[in-house]
Amino acid sequence: MSCRITTFTVSNPNCSKLWSKKTSIKAFCSFRSLRVSVSGYPRGIGNSLLHSSSNSRFRLAASLELMKEKNALSSLKKALDNAPPLRDFIGSLKESYLRTGSPGLIAEVKKASPSRGVLRENFHPVEVAKAYEKGGAACLSVLTDEKYFQGSFENLVAIRNAGVKCPLLCKEFIVDAWQLYYARTKGADAVLLIAAVLPDIDIKYMLKICRKIGLAALVEVHDENEMDRMLAIDGIELIGINNRNLETFEVDISNTKKLLEGERGEKLRQKNIIVVGESGLFTPADIAYVQEAGVKAILVGESIVKQEDPTKGIRDLFGKDISA
């Protein structure tokens, strides 16, 4: 049974439900006048998910809708009063950069990835998180997407409740403002917004919500067009440059240098935006390359989570001890 829902518009943020006559399952669209594919997932994830069958996209939408039904937005807003105290995500990155002279590390807690499969068979998220913190990570990124990264919000909560002091980024495919509130109630200090997924109007709206509830937002770009779009938006403090091509999964760290050259680099400096290098960083030479290009923070997962001792993995990555 197919469901031909690809896009639809919701003009009222409170009217986020749509009934499919064929499936009798509620579908959703995120907020305001949002018009996007139902999945909201980036190209390349799971056989170009944005262009996959309507059934696949609808199942993803239905899954999020079920979470929303169990956790009404009104309840989440009330729960914010009892959410774990916010930690300064951006401040921690700045402090680390000043202290070590190297890009502040956002170390990623993840079991698997779509391109590499399972990265760590014996995966204990709290142990990994504590090893990262011991190794000098400024912040942590915790995968909460289950389907493609084998992550969960349970991992995020467990790390937060384990006494880990590093600020936490909720690494999820955000397509609905509801997810921002949910992440905050689970202990997140920051979230990821992907320019390849969200149109500009929705980036602006989500930034507004993030400011309202205290979340930092790491806005991720992959190419010149996405960078130019984000530079035209006020209020962005963190831009991540992902060196992975989401269509082919190929990685080229020269992408970072390309996007930071010339007028774009000057605009970033004028706006005091911290640039985060992402993907393809495995050696001290890689770190030096992106730092010279203008990066002041890096997000790294694979090259350290695969190590038997992630603390040592961080030392090997930087070529020095950054924990002192």
Q: Which of 108, 172, 226, 302 is catalytic?
A: 108
Give CA angle at 317 (315, 159), nearest 5°.
70
* Catalytic annotation, pick one of 92, 242, 243, 255: 242
| 57 confidence band (pLDDT: 50, 70, 90) | low
Mean pLDDT, residues 2-13: 35
Residue in 68, 111, 130, 171 annotated catalytic: 171
pLDDT at 20 over 80: no
Q: What does pTM read for this prediction?
A: 0.84
- The question of whether 266 is a catalytic residue gets the answer no
94 catalytically annotated: no
pLDDT digits (tens, 9 = 90+) for 273-309: 999 999 999 999 999 999 999 999 999 998 999 889 9
pLDDT tens-digit profile of 231-283?
A: 999 999 999 999 998 778 899 999 999 999 999 999 999 999 999 999 999 99
Residue 122: the pLDDT is 83
- Specify whether 292 is catalytic: no
78 is catalytic: no
Q: Say what the pLDDT of residue 66 is.
A: 87
Q: Left if phi > 0, otherwise alpha if psi is -120 to 50, otherwise beta: which for 101? A: left
Instruction: Confirm whether 242 is a catalytic residue.
Output: yes
| 267 catalytic per annotation | no
Q: What local confidence, expressed as pLDDT, does residue 46 receive? A: 35
Least confident of 27-36, 80-89, 130-139, 150-159: 27-36
Q: Which of 279, 296, 302, 303 is catalytic?
A: 279
Angle, helix 125-135 to helix 310-318, in steps of 10 degrees: 40
Question: Choosing from 220, 257, 302, 303, which is the catalytic residue?
Answer: 220
Return d(Cα 106, Cα 113) in angstroms, integer. 17
> Residue 198: is its pLDDT beyond 90?
yes
247 is catalytic: no
Residue 94 to residue 37: CA distance in whole angstroms: 36
Q: At what angle do helices 125-135 and 153-161 cross, to 10 degrees?
A: 50
